[in-house]
Amino acid sequence: MAKLIINGGAKLEGELSIHGAKNAALPVFAAALLTEEPVIIYNWPAISDVYNMLSILEHIGAHVAYEKDKLVIDTRRALRWEMPDKLAKEIRSSIFMMGPILARFRMARFTYPGGCEIGSRPIDLHLRGLKNLGVNVTEAGGHIMCEGRRLKGGDVHLDYPSVGATENLMMAAALAPGNTAIRNAAREPEIAELQDVLNQMGSDVKGAGSSTILIEGKGKLRGFSYTCIPDRIVAGTFMVAAVVTNGKITLKNVIPEHLFAITAKLREAGAQIKVYDDAITVIGQGRPKEMHLIETGPYPGFPTDMQAQMCTAAAIAKGTSIIVESVFDNRFKHVGELLRMGANIVIKNNVAVIKGVERLHGAEVKSMDLRGGAALVLAGLCAQGKTVVEQARIIDRGYETLESELSLLGADIRRED
Ligand code: UD1
């Protein structure tokens, strides 16, 4: 069991460059199935969720070749339309494959996807959307069978702007004859990235970034090359690291616009933040101030993937902060661990009331999910004494080399496998 061992108290100072975004890369990998031509992806993040996704593509019959920065996926020989249960359970993003597999083979068989244990994470919106595109969906024995001989464009209204459902439906519609409209679509930056990729492939997609996306399906799509945008959640995590250690960190290769919600809250916490074209500097100003209310929501709202990290900042803030988790149920598992480090947090349903304490203390804690694990590392960085974060591999799902980057910034952190 990998562990991260942190001796807290160091001020983090220096510069680092933010790696490619997991949530942009994963749907784009799935889009490789929409064409028989090779696709090239640059600046891909070397994280375990990405390697799992590549294993799924290889299982389907794709050829995958990669070097440090460049990844080539060639799906010419892809032939399987069944998702292997084991891989699908490891990574929720396997669900993105449903639309592309259906569009490619007009058949798909899936098991319910896994991923982080952060609530029930149903897939009803994906399935209802596909039904609106003429797909026949049947469910039995934990498996979902989709038959798409009559796949065609259609009108979809999502009850909630689900990121995954929007992406899945965009990809299925790109190879479906006719026109599709997705209303109440997600507006995350990753949706606009997927739109650009689909358009590069020869489809006609408009509206990403707004809540209505229009897609004109094509019979055949071309290969593409894509450079992953920087990961806004990784950037946000380092921004909080600067605040909780009272340090000064410059993040290069970021898109500041994607970080506005995080920037606003950290400024409220008293941090000084300088924004440049593609960089951002965060300077801690002593103990953070309370953040009156952070409520997670679909983009451009406050990202749920930053909620846990903000809990750590609030845990050492001067006053009382309130955090409302409105996207996922059961996403406060890190709170029990923060309590072991001396935090003062009360949870009622989806609301956390956090009364800041002057200092956390080191403890043995466990990563319960990806971002919750990152939040515990942040807590360890500012705590007094030694913190051991167990189940550190969960953190590798979304961060390339968290501990070596933190070490370069001056943290006393090491891994034990
Ligand atoms: C994506 C991100 C994840 C982020 C989340 C919300 C990727 C790979 N993952 O996940 O990091 O935390 O967006 O920003 O991009 N829902 C349903 N039915 C469905 C689908 C979703 O009820 O069919 C609900 C979910 O349970 C959740 C909410 O909608 O409560 C948001 O989920 P969704 O936007 O789909 O998240 P993901 O695409 O899984």
The answer to whether the beta carbons of residues 322 and 295 sit under 8 Å apart is: no
97 and 90 Cβ atoms separated by less than 8 Å? no
In the reported structure, the alpha carbon of residue 121 is separated from the centroid of ligand 1 by a whole-number distance in angstroms of 7
For the CA atoms of the chain, what is the radius of gyration?
A: 21
- Judge contact between 230 and 19, C-beta under 8 A: yes
Spell out the residues 6+ positions from residue 46 whose beta carbon is closer than 8 angstroms to its own.
Answer: 19, 400
Bridge pairing between strands 386-390 and 3-7: antiparallel
Pick from 22, 162, 234, 394 the residue to mutate for probing ligand 1's pocket: most ligand atoms within 8 Å of its CB: 162
Indicate if ligand 1 lies below 6 Å from the C-beta of 124: yes
Q: Is the CB of 126 under 6 A from ligand 1?
A: yes
Q: Is 125 touching ligand 1 by the criterion CB < 6 Å?
A: yes
Residue nearest to atom 19 of ligand 1 (CA): 123
Supply angle C-alpha 226, 227, 232, rounded to 5.
130
Distance 143 CA to ligand 1 centre (A): 20
Kindly report whether the peptide bond that precedes residue 300 is cis, defined as omega within 30 degrees of 0. Answer: yes
23 lines ligand 1 (CB under 6 A): yes
Cβ neighbour number for residue 210 with a 10 Å cutoff: 12
Phi/psi at 277 (nearest 5 deg)? -60, -50
State whether the beta carbon of 335 lies less than 6 angstroms from ligand 1.
no
Going from the Cα of 171 to the center of ligand 1, the distance in angstroms, rounded, reads 17
From 116, 146, 228, 382, active-site residue: 116
Q: Whose CA is nearest to atom 1 of ligand 1?
A: 163
Which of 262, 327, 350, 399 to mutate for ligand 1's pocket (most ligand atoms within 8 Å of CB)?
327
271-281 exposure pattern, b = at least 16 Cβ within 10 A, e = fewer: bebeeeeebbb
Residue in this structure with the two tokens 């200092």, named with its chain if needed: 359
pLDDT for residue 118: 47
Which residue CA neighbors atom 7 of ligand 1 most closely?
23
Neighbours of 138 (CB within 10 A): 9
Residue 234 Cβ contacting ligand 1 at under 6 Å:
no
* Spacing, Cα 93 to ligand 1 middle (Å): 10
Check the CA dihedral 93-98-99-104 and report its sign.
positive
Contact 327 CB / ligand 1 (< 6 Å): yes
CB atoms within 10 A of CB 208: 25
Those residues whose C-beta lies under 8 Å from the C-beta of residue 125, and which sit 6 or more positions away, are 158, 159, 160, 162, 165
Best of 121, 299, 304 for a ligand 1 pocket test (most atoms within 8 Å of beta carbon)? 121
Pocket perturbation via mutation, ligand 1, pick of 93, 160, 167 by most ligand atoms within 8 A of CB: 160
- CA–CA separation, 279 vs 275, rounded Å? 6
Domains of the chain, CATH where assigned = 3-19+230-416 (3.65.10.10), 22-227 (3.65.10.10)
The residues near 61 (Cβ < 8 Å, ≥ 6 apart) are 75, 77, 78, 79, 80
Block means of pLDDT (10 residues each) for the chain, length 417 residues? 96 97 96 97 95 92 92 94 81 84 94 59 89 93 89 97 97 97 98 98 98 97 98 98 98 98 98 98 97 96 98 97 95 97 97 98 96 98 98 95 96 96
Q: How far is CA 212 from the centre of its chain?
A: 22
- Asked if 146 is an active-site residue, the reply is no
Alpha-helix residue ranges (DSSP H) falling in 133-231: 163-174, 189-200
- Ligand 1 atom nearest to 127, measured from its CA: 23
Task: Tell me what pLDDT residue 120 has.
Answer: 56
Residue 56 CB–ligand 1 contact under 6 Å: no
Of 195, 258, 261, nearest to 230 (Cα)?
258
122 Cβ closer than 6 Å to some ligand 1 atom = yes
- For ligand 1, the distance from its centroid to the CA atom of residue 202, given in whole angstroms, is 27
Residue nearest (by alpha carbon) to ligand 1 atom 2 = 23
Q: Residue 156 phi/psi, 5° resolution?
A: -125, 130
**pLDDT at res. 140:** 80
Separation CA 27–CA 22 (nearest Å): 9
Residue given tokens 């640059």 in the structure block: 42
Q: Tell which atom from ligand 1 comes closest to the C-alpha of 327.
A: 30
Amino acid at 137: V
